[in-house]
């Protein structure tokens, strides 16, 4: 199957899951405008000057991992710095222990090289510290990268930003999940967490289709799961009182740009200290099409099937355990989800809008 033969609704649903992959950088102008605004408002600090001790948490199974390793090492050598230290992730640990090991050598930067899961695990270990994170996206969704105007296809440019970029403080979120057996676990979120339909789509995507049609496989799963019942939910935003409603999905986001060119939450900014809560509650296919139309075409008309709120903390509880996800990673069934924003908790390195390129173009 080729990309042009996939139905439009499948493409749109794939984008709504937040886990899809595209072959171009979407909505560059919108993201850059937000980034430039933040830089003008003084929300970035100057880049590191002088020699650096560089550490890299790398997912070795990614297709460009070896190239990234060689290029980072070459740039450090050319700069006259000591050799970078590499810490490889494993199936059992996507990066937390490796990041803690990296912090043990007193680095000037920890570069996360991998997919959204690796980047999220590195961020989890770095949040609240004064060590910045460089981002070299090597995955499929690359959600955080896209929201920071980082082109996943520009390996040299991303290494440049990770080594020479300015520092920008961004928000993270703490996602607390309560399980049916009474257990509780916490995750660090960078982009968005969800409960309901979006998580079901991620969990239901077929691996064999991923290998054949890449990100469009999520659209296939989404179309299969469009028809379904709404779930009773209670939600409390910033302790303003619990409200009951029925929904297909609740998303709690730090930022809103998804692959496929979809700016799902146009008002979301990654460093504004606020979470953006989206409730999707369509009752039938007609209302699903209305939701997709509103998101894709960005019209401002209010719809009962999709509602937006702002909060610093969102508490959601359900009668039945529902599937959850954090930044596109399946995180299991939960009866309750609490998401709390951590303003400016993570420092990342990004290219300044006026920064000169310091790496030559690849031959």
pLDDT tens column, 156-207? 999 999 999 999 999 999 999 999 999 999 999 999 999 999 888 877 766 6
What pLDDT, on a 0 to 100 scale, did the predictor assign at position 7? 45
CATH classification of 7-11+174-345, choosing from 3.40.50.720, 1.10.287.3510, 1.10.8.60, 2.60.200.40?
Answer: 2.60.200.40
The arithmetic mean of pLDDT across residues 267-272, rounded, is 90
Q: With a cut of 60, say whether residue 15 has pLDDT above it.
A: no
CA dist 305 → 240, 255, 318 (Å): 22, 21, 19
| 354-55-351 Cα angle (round to 5) | 10
Residue-averaged pLDDT of the chain: 83
Q: With a cut of 80, say whether residue 140 has pLDDT above it.
A: no
Q: 63-72, 258-267, 310-319, 344-353: lowest mean pLDDT where?
A: 258-267
What pLDDT, on a 0 to 100 scale, did the predictor assign at position 4? 36
pLDDT tier, 45 (very low <50, low <70, confident <90, very high otherwise): confident
Q: 7-16, 228-237, 292-301: lowest mean pLDDT where?
A: 7-16
The arithmetic mean of pLDDT across residues 94-100, rounded, is 96
- Greater model confidence, 176 or 27: 176
Left, alpha or beta for 332 (phi > 0: left; psi -120 to 50: alpha)? left
pLDDT tier, 351 (very low <50, low <70, confident <90, very high otherwise): confident
What pLDDT, on a 0 to 100 scale, did the predictor assign at position 27? 34
Q: Whole-structure pTM over 0.85, yes or no? A: no
SS3 annotation, 321-343? EEEEEECCEEEEEEEEEEEEEEE
- Greater model confidence, 191 or 63: 191
Q: Beta-strand (E) ranges in the chain?
A: 44-45, 54-58, 85-88, 109-114, 133-137, 166-178, 184-189, 192-196, 231-237, 242-247, 249-253, 257-258, 262-263, 275-280, 306-311, 313-326, 329-350
So where are the chain's domains? 7-11+174-345, 22-170+346-350
* HSE-up (13 A, CA, CB side) for residue 175: 27
The arithmetic mean of pLDDT across residues 342-351, rounded, is 95
Of the chain, the percentage scoring pLDDT greater than 70 comes to 78
pLDDT tier, 295 (very low <50, low <70, confident <90, very high otherwise): confident
What pLDDT, on a 0 to 100 scale, did the predictor assign at position 108? 96
Q: Are 58 and 114 in contact (CB under 8 A)?
A: yes
Per CATH, the number for 22-170+346-350 is 3.40.50.10330
- Greater model confidence, 258 or 353: 258
Round to whole Å and give the CA distance between 280 and 284: 12
Of the chain, the percentage scoring pLDDT greater than 90 comes to 60
Q: 12-21, 169-178, 209-218, 248-257: lowest mean pLDDT where?
A: 12-21
């Amino acid at each position: 199957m080729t990309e042009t033969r996939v139905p439009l609704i499948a493409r749109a649903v794939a984008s709504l899951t937040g886990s899809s992959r595209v072959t171009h950088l979407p909505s560059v102008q919108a993201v850059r405008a937000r980034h430039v605004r933040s830089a003008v408002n003084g929300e970035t600090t100057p880049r590191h000057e002088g020699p650096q001790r560089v550490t890299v948490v790398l997912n070795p199974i990614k297709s460009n991992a070896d190239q990234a390793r060689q290029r980072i090492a070459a740039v450090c050598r050319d700069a006259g710095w000591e050799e970078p230290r590499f810490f490889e992730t494993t199936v059992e640990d996507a990066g937390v222990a490796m990041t803690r090991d990296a912090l043990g050598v007193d680095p000037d930067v920890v570069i996360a090289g991998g997919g959204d899961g690796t980047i999220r695990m590195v961020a989890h270990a770095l949040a609240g510290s004064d060590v910045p994170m460089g981002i070299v996206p090597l995955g499929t969704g690359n959600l955080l990268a896209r929201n920071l105007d980082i082109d996943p296809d520009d390996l040299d440019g991303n290494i440049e930003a990770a080594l020479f970029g300015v520092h920008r403080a961004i928000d993270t979120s703490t996602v607390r999940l309560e399980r049916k057996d009474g257990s509780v676990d916490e995750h660090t979120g960078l982009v968005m967490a969800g409960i309901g339909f979006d998580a079901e789509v991620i969990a239901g995507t077929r691996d064999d289709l991923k290998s054949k049609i890449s990100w469009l496989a999520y659209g296939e799963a989404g179309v299969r799961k469009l028809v379904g019942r709404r779930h009773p939910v209670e939600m409390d935003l910033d302790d303003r009182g619990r409200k009951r409603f029925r929904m297909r999905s609740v998303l709690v986001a730090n930022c809103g740009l998804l692959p496929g060119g979809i700016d799902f939450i146009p008002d979301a900014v990654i460093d504004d200290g606020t979470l953006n809560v989206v409730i999707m509650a369509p009752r039938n296919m007609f209302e699903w099409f209305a939701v997709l139309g509103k998101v894709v075409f960005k019209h401002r008309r209010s719809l009962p099937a999709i509602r937006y709120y702002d909060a610093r903390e969102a508490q959601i509880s359900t009668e039945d355990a529902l599937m959850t996800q954090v930044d596109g990673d399946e995180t299991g069934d939960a009866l309750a989800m609490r998401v709390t924003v951590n303003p400016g908790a993570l420092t990342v390195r990004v290219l300044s809008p006026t920064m000169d390129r310091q790496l030559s173009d690849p031959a």
